[in-house]
Structure 1
Amino acid sequence: MLSANIQAGSSTRRYSDYLTRSWSHALPSGSKRSSLDVIAQLAAGHDIVGLQESDPGSLRSGFTNQTRYLAQRAGFHYWTHQPNRSVGGVASSANGLLSRLEPVKTVEHALPGRIKGRGVLLAHFGDDRQGLTVAVAHLSLGAKSRLVQLSFIAEVLKDHPNTVLMGDFNCLADQPEMNVLYRNTGLRPPECAVPTFPSWKPQRAIDHILISGQLRCAGARALPAAFSDHLALAMDIDVPEAALRS
C-alpha cells in the first residue's frame, strides 16, 4: 500500500518555496502534469493507494481531476475521491483512493474541526464484518482539532477489526491525541517511525499507515512523490485471504 500527500502536483523543494512559489497553489503550471506522471509511476507498483491534497478539478490543476488522472496513468481500474475543500473554484482539495480491487462499498465522512474542509474516505473489501477496511484521512494542524477528528475516526472504525488507516496526520504517532485511536480501535502504533516531512530533509514522521486485526506489516519505507513537500509512505501488508472474500 502507498499513502501520498501529493500537494496537488505543486513543487516544494525548500521552505522558501512556500513563499516564492505560492502562486502555484492557485494557478496551473506545466510542471504539475509532469509531476503527476512521476507520481503515477510510483503508484503503479502498489495495489492500493491513498492520496491527500489531490485536486478534484479546479483552476490550479487546469480543471483536471488528479485522482482520475493518476488512476488512468497508473493502470488502476478502480478509483474514487472525496472533495473536501474548495476556495472559490481556484483551488480544491480531495482525499483519493486507487485500487486494483473494486471495493464492496465506499463511504465518505466529513471530519469535525474548528475549520471545516477535512474528511475521511473509507473503502470496504470482502465481508462487511470481517473484511478489509481501508481509510484515507488528512488531519488538521492543531492538536485540539486532531483529537476531535481522531475520536470521530475511532468511532467509525471500532467495529471493523481488519483496518488500514493511512494519510497525513500532521503529528507523530506517539502524540497524546493519537491514544484515543489506539484505545478505542484495534489500530496499533507503527513498529518504527519513518520520517516523511519535509521531503528535502525528512525529520518528522507525520504520515502514517496504521493496521489492526490480523493484518501484518512486512516493511515500511519512504519514497519521493515527485516534488511534493511530503515523501510518500509505502508499506507491504500481509492480508488474510478471508478478509478479501465476499
Structure 2
Amino acid sequence: MLIDSLTTAQVATSALKRDEAPAELRVATYNIRHAEGLDGKVSAEAIAEQLRWLHADVIALQEVDRYKWRSGFRDQAAYLAREAGMHYVFAPSIRSGISAYGIALLSRYPLKAPRQYKLSGGREPRSLLTAELNLGGRTITIATTHLGVAAADRHLQMPQLSHWLGDIQEPLLLMGDFNSESPGMEGPGLLRLKFPEPTPTVLKGGEIDHIFISSELAYETPAAVVPSKASDHVPVVADLVLKGER
C-alpha cells in the first residue's frame, strides 16, 4: 500500500538553480550502515566525503538514520545532502518517536512527486521510495529500496515491489540494496547493470547492491564499485544516458 505521499523533496541548498538534468547522468547506490565505518566508529563526515568524491548526479542511500542515539541524533539525509550540495527526500521505514531509519534519494536537480510504499517484512519494515526528475526534457522516475535480509521476507517483498513499479511509466531507474545476488527484477521491463566480473558490494562478500534501468535508458560504462571504508558496503556507480540523446 502507499503509506506516504511525501509532500516535498526538501532542498539542501539555494545554490541549486537548474530545474532540468541533462540527458546524461552519473548515478550511485550506497548502503551507508548509519555511517558506521569499518573501524566501528560512526562518521557522517566520512560518508559525506565519499559522496562528494563520487561526483554523482543522483544517489540512492539505504540504512539512513534520523535523530537516532547510535548516530548522534543527526538527521543524516539532511546533513549529507547539504554537504554534497544536493536536493533530497527521506522515507522512514521505521519510526520511534522523533527518530527514524530508512532510505533516501539525493539529486543535483529537483526531485518531484516523492512517494513511499510499504513492503511486507517479518524482521523489520521495508519500503520503496520513488521521485520524479526532469531528464533531457522528459520525466524519469528514480526509485530506491532496501529488501529484507531473510529470503522469506524477500519472497513477500519482490511481488509487491514489482506491482508498484509496474504502475510507473518509463524511463525508470531503480537502485538499492536487494540483499540478493539475483533479485529477479530482470525481464522485459528492467535490465540489471552488471559488473565486468563478479564484484562484492558488501564486506561479508556478495553482489547485493544493484542498479536497474528500463529500456529507454542506456549505460555508457558497466557498473563499477568505489572503494570505501566508511560503511560495510561500497558505492555502486554507473553512467547513464537517455536513449536518442547520445
Note whether the superposition's TM-score is higher than 0.5. yes
Select the structure that is richer in helix.
1
**How many Å separate the matches in 2 of 1:98 and 1:132?**
15
Q: Following TM superposition, by how much is the alpha carbon of 1:47 offset from its aligned partner in structure 2, in angstroms?
A: 0.4
Q: Following TM superposition, by how much is the alpha carbon of 1:188 offset from its aligned partner in structure 2, in angstroms?
A: 1.7
**How many Å separate the matches in 2 of 1:113 and 1:93?**
15
Q: Following TM superposition, by how much is the alpha carbon of 1:240 offset from its aligned partner in structure 2, in angstroms?
A: 4.5
Match of 1:12 among 38, 46, 61: 38
Q: Following TM superposition, by how much is the alpha carbon of 1:79 offset from its aligned partner in structure 2, in angstroms?
A: 0.7
- The question of 1:234 aligning with 2:237 is answered yes
Match of 2:43 among 25, 32, 42: 32
Q: Following TM superposition, by how much is the alpha carbon of 1:41 offset from its aligned partner in structure 2, in angstroms?
A: 2.2
Q: What amino acid is the match of 2:160?
A: F
Match of 1:67 among 77, 93, 115: 77
- The question of 1:196 aligning with 2:205 is answered no
Matched with 1:17 is none
Alignment partner of 2:192: what SS?
coil
Q: Following TM superposition, by how much is the alpha carbon of 1:206 offset from its aligned partner in structure 2, in angstroms?
A: 0.5
- The question of 1:122 aligning with 2:133 is answered no
Matched with 2:208 is 206
Contact (CA 8 Å) 2:119, 2:160: kept in 1 or not?
A: yes
CA spacing shift, 1:182–1:33, aligned 2, 3 Å: closer
**Which fold has the larger relative contact order, with Cα–Cα distance below 8 Å and residues 6 or more apart in sequence?**
2
**How many Å separate the matches in 2 of 1:237 and 1:161?**
14
Q: Following TM superposition, by how much is the alpha carbon of 1:97 offset from its aligned partner in structure 2, in angstroms?
A: 0.8
**How many Å separate the matches in 1 of 2:75 and 2:97?**
16
- The question of 1:49 aligning with 2:59 is answered yes
Select the structure that is richer in strand.
2
Deviations 1:150-187 (A, max 9, x none): 111111111322111111111102xxxx33x335x601
Contact (CA 8 Å) 2:192, 2:210: kept in 1 or not?
A: no
Matched with 1:18 is none
**Count of residues in correspondence between the two structures:** 213
**How many Å separate the matches in 1 of 2:211 and 2:112?**
21
Q: Superposed, which structure 2 residues align to 1:32-181 within 5 Å? A: 32-43=43-54, 45-76=55-86, 78-86=87-95, 92-126=100-134, 131-159=139-167, 160-173=169-182, 178-179=183-184, 181=185
Query: What stretches of structure 1 move > 6 A for 4+ residues in a row?
Result: none
Alignment partner of 2:90: what SS?
strand
**How many Å separate the matches in 1 of 2:68 and 2:127?**
18
Matched with 2:11 is none
Contact (CA 8 Å) 1:40, 1:71: kept in 2 or not?
A: no
Contact (CA 8 Å) 2:88, 2:111: kept in 1 or not?
A: no
Alignment partner of 1:224: what SS?
coil
Q: Following TM superposition, by how much is the alpha carbon of 1:86 offset from its aligned partner in structure 2, in angstroms?
A: 4.2
Deviations 1:184-228 (A, max 9, x none): x60123333542121xxx741110001112101122110134421
**How many Å separate the matches in 2 of 1:203 and 1:226?**
14
**How many Å separate the matches in 1 of 2:79 and 2:59?**
13
**How many Å separate the matches in 2 of 1:92 and 1:86?**
4
Alignment partner of 1:60: what SS?
helix
TM-score (norm 2): 0.77
Gaps of 5+ in 1: 14-20, 22-28
**How many Å separate the matches in 1 of 2:97 and 2:90?**
19
Q: What amino acid is the match of 1:39?
A: Q
